[in-house]
């Protein structure tokens, strides 16, 4: 597929053209930093290379709270507003990868989640690679990288005066077919930037070995030690772009059935009606989180469930660092 170019001073014009047929979601300034918002003025877009959004863009396809249907007198009606075609512009490869991973949960044809599927089929993801891995990022050690391609329809490499666009799907190719083609010098420069983004002291983690050693440690007391400072809040799971657990409740006053994000880090997550809790302490819950990310995902899909985005590392109120925890348990490095 032919790479294309958007000169930096032509970006706004190009986006305004897209806005005629698509809704645009892109990173914009917010009180907590950067957040993915619906953009009507391309000037609002923030492509700060050192910062990702705090709130993960999985919320675009799996909203934190979503009305599933309304019910009355024994029958139900589906929500009315069908999403328009959307372009998600400016996602980072770690987040695009997270959408690709969550597609295996919500978007498999034989097991389709209609709420996810309807939004997903109408969305194009244009991601932008990172010239340098961010402070707490470790995407390149968990099977991805700052120019990872999974989940994206188009991947942008930022050059000095232009954006270099690599289409990755036919939908992406179609969107940018009328743009000028990149020349050899630009392609060469893009490759150099992509190569230069790899951090020299990061090595890909041995995910299979990590999985095995996690299983070996399952019944040992190490989980209690590493979870001692865990507060049991939901920061890591809610900010994680691949955590997808949800809770379904009926808001009877509004006759709505609602799906909300849930977190295995809360004590009540696994609390049973009898009062029994199969994960009674932080040790079991922390074990569950780490095993899910680095063992069960590997078992089920052959890839790590963690994309190395680093949000949990940056935002955990007690600086529990999942890289350190995995290394403590397995003696294997995961930068």
Angle between helices 322-330 and 207-216 (to 10 degrees): 70
48: CB partners within 8 A, 6+ apart:
27, 34
Of 96-104, 154-162, 215-223, 314-322: span binding another protein (CB under 8 A): 314-322
104: left (phi over 0), alpha (psi -120 to 50) or beta: alpha
Binding status of residue 285 toward another protein by CB under 8 A: no
Binding status of residue 205 toward another protein by CB under 8 A: no
Binding status of residue 201 toward another protein by CB under 8 A: no
Q: Which is nearer to another protein, 33 or 83 (CB)?
A: 33
Of 26-34, 117-125, 174-182, 185-193: span binding another protein (CB under 8 A): 26-34
User: What is the rounded distance in angstroms from the CA atom of residue 192 to the CA atom of residue 157?
Assistant: 10
Q: Which is nearer to another protein, 247 or 301 (CB)?
A: 247
Q: Out of 180, 196, 208, 232, name the contact with another protein by CB under 8 A.
A: 232
Please name the residue that has the structure tokens 């918002």.
Answer: 37
Binding status of residue 331 toward another protein by CB under 8 A: no
Helices (H) and strands (E) in the chain, counts: 12, 11
Q: Out of 233, 255, 284, 332, name the contact with another protein by CB under 8 A.
A: 233
Angle at 230 between CA 229 and CA 236, to 5 degrees: 140
Determine contact, residues 211/298, Cβ cutoff 8 Å. Answer: yes
Contacting residues toward another protein, per CB under 8 A: 30-33, 35, 50, 54-55, 64-65, 132, 134-136, 228-229, 231-235, 238-239, 247, 249, 251, 258, 260, 263, 266, 268, 282, 313-315, 317-321, 323-324
């Amino acid at each position: 597929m032919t790479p294309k170019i958007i000169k930096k001073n032509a970006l706004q014009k190009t986006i305004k053209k897209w806005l005629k047929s698509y809704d645009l979601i892109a990173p914009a300034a917010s009180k907590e930093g950067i957040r993915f918002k619906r953009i009507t003025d391309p000037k609002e877009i923030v492509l700060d290379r050192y910062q990702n959004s705090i709130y993960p863009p999985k919320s675009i396809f799996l909203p934190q709270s979503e009305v599933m249907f309304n019910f009355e007198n024994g029958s139900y009606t589906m929500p009315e507003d069908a999403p328009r075609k959307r372009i998600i512009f400016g996602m980072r490869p770690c987040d695009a990868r997270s959408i690709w991973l969550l597609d295996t949960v919500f978007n498999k044809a034989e097991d389709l989640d209609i709420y996810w599927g309807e939004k997903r089929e109408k969305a194009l993801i244009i991601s932008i690679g990172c010239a340098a891995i961010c402070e707490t990022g470790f995407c390149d050690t968990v099977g991805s990288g700052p120019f990872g391609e999974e989940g994206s329809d188009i991947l942008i490499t930022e050059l000095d005066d232009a954006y270099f666009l690599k289409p990755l799907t036919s939908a992406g190719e179609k969107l940018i077919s009328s743009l000028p083609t990149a020349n050899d010098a630009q392609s060469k420069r893009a490759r150099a930037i992509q190569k230069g983004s790899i951090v020299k002291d990061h090595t890909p983690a041995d995910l299979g070995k990590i999985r095995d050693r996690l299983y070996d440690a399952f019944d040992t007391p190490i989980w209690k030690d590493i979870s001692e400072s865990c507060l049991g809040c939901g920061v890591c799971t809610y900010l994680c772009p691949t955590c997808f657990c949800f809770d379904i409740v009926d808001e009877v006053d509004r006759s709505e059935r609602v799906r909300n994000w849930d977190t295995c880090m809360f004590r009540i997550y696994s609390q049973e009606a009898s009062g029994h809790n199969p994960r009674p302490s932080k040790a079991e819950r922390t074990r569950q989180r780490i095993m899910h990310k680095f063992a069960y995902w590997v078992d089920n899909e052959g890839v790590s469930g963690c994309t190395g985005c680093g949000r949990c590392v940056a935002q955990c109120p007690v600086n529990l660092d999942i890289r350190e925890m995995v290394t403590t348990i397995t003696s294997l490095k995961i930068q």
